[in-house]
Amino acid sequence: MALDLFSPVKLGGIALKNRMVMAPLTRNRAGAGGVPQALNVTYYAQRASAGLIISEATPISAMAHGYPALPGIYTDEQVAGWKKVTDAVHAEGGKIVLQLWHVGRISHPSLLPNDAQPVAPSAITPNGKAFTYQGLVDYVQPRALDVSELPGIVADYVHATKSAISAGFDGVEIHAANGYLLDQFLRDGTNKREDHYGGNIENRTRLLLEVTKAVVTVAGADKVGIRISPVNPFNDMKDSNPQALFNYVVDVLNQFNLAYLHVVEGGIHGGGIADPFDFSALRKHCQSPYIANLAYDKARGNAVIASGHADAVAYGVPFIANPDLVKRFSTNAALNEADSSTFYGGTEHGYTDYPFLGA
């Protein structure tokens, strides 16, 4: 029998009832102190029919923040807030992993402790505007991290992973995509370092491997996924040879036997035109289960699973507007239209009030 979106699958140690993954979706609706609140519990529980929910990107430390009203995963209060989310998802028969996030240079002093300067591999100011509590403002020049600071970054990932386990998550996903800190180290448009964390591909991959090794040691490899975006230009990102870089990244990640590799197959967020890239070739390097992500519909999702290109498919905007997306796909029902004006920040409107089938 041919596999499709509705076939069960195991991603490492995480058993999924179907292959429809809810992609990580920043919604800027956490409570005070970055603590998930009742509204967030409702939102995630509504979408628990997904085979797997990947949480919104979640800062691993106070210095990892880059946007207003984000939930964190580094204080006891945040852990307690997330525990209510995971309990609610599990009560509905769902699985949920937490996405570990450090934004690096995509931040602003007003979002950081003591108006700190954002950090990055190199002191290169991104083009664009920071989204702050005061509105859109110009990005500032980040401070290049000293080599002596990198073990502390790794330690923050370890602490966040332990916190995620305490909060009841089924695993964690390391966010190494979309122009944030680990992606900034990987790509040579943002990494101009001259030490052993910069220069050649092996050096630029070093921090990701150190983080992965540390997170795997805490959580177990079969509970850890990684997200990459080889050619996404979002957040002013570029690399001179993305195919060679990310083929290498996947080759060296194979040593960990990770739960999955989650790949953004192109550009998102209107960040410009993505460079050409052979994702089929990348897939051949990957020995872990593979989650494909980017503007998939039901037909394309079924096709890439049937062909073996992907083991699961991540859906973003469709899950925002359709908490029962799995049922709608399985019955060929019409989809709710997403209201993009309510994506970021706000109330339950455009968050928990999208109708279910038959409502």
Using CA atoms, how far apart are residues 176 and 215, in angstroms rounded to an integer?
13
Beta strand 290-293 with 172-176 is unpaired
The catalytically annotated residue of 157, 180, 197, 351 is: 180
Please name the residues in contact with 54: beta carbons below 8 A apart, sequence gap of 6 or more. Answer: 21, 22, 23, 24, 96, 97, 99, 173, 225, 262, 314
Using CA atoms, how far apart are residues 17 and 9, in angstroms rounded to an integer?
7
Query: Are 61 and 74 spatial neighbours (Cβ–Cβ below 8 Å)?
Result: yes
Using CA atoms, how far apart are residues 124 and 102, in angstroms rounded to an integer?
17
Q: Which of 148, 106, 108, 143 is nearest to 127 (CA)?
A: 106
Q: What would the two tokens of residue 86 be?
A: 């995971």
180 is catalytic: yes
Q: ∠ CA 10-15-18 to the nearest 5 degrees?
A: 80
Task: Determine the residue type at 180.
Answer: Y
Query: How buried is 303 (Cβ within 10 angstroms: 0-12 exposed, 13-18 middle, 19+ buried)?
Result: middle
Query: How buried is 337 (Cβ within 10 angstroms: 0-12 exposed, 13-18 middle, 19+ buried)?
Result: exposed
- DSSP labels, 160-186: HHHHHHHTT-S-EEEEE-TTSHHHHHH
Please name the residues in contact with 136: beta carbons below 8 A apart, sequence gap of 6 or more. Answer: 129, 130
Q: Is residue 114 left, alpha or beta, with left meaning phi > 0 and alpha meaning psi from -120 to 50?
A: left
Q: What would the two tokens of residue 18 be?
A: 């179907």
Q: Which residues does the annotation mark as catalytic?
A: 180
